[in-house]
């Protein structure tokens, strides 16, 4: 049943896309996507560890300095 296999792949692809979109909407960075991008677009350059990546994304979104120094529009 080849159609069943292709249907399962379609469902899996849709689920992955929806999961990625939901994470982006609530501000959760996708480390695996970052690593794939760095390897493909910037070979030979260093790749942040997962902890460094999350810290950098949080600082980019909320600013540096902790809880009392949040810099954002709203």
pLDDT in tens, 14-53: 988 888 888 878 777 788 889 999 999 999 999 999 999 9
49/64: higher pLDDT: 49
Give the whole-angstrom CA distance, residue 29 versus residue 23.
Answer: 7
For residue 57, what are the contacts with CB-CB under 8 A and spacing of at least 6? 27, 29
Work out the angle between the directed axes of helices 31-41 and 50-62 (0-180°, nearest 10).
Answer: 100
The pLDDT value recorded for residue 25 is 82
Question: Has residue 65 got a pLDDT over 80?
Answer: no
38/66: higher pLDDT: 38
Q: Taking the model in full, what pTM does it have?
A: 0.58
């Amino acid at each position: 049943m080849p159609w069943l296999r292709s249907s399962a792949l379609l469902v899996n692809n849709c689920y992955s896309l929806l999961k990625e979109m939901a994470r982006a909407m609530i501000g959760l960075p996708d480390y695996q996507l970052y690593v794939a991008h760095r390897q493909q677009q910037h070979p030979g350059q260093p790749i942040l560890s997962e902890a460094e990546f999350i810290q950098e994304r949080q600082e980019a979104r909320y600013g540096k300095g902790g809880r009392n120094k949040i810099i954002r529009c709203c």
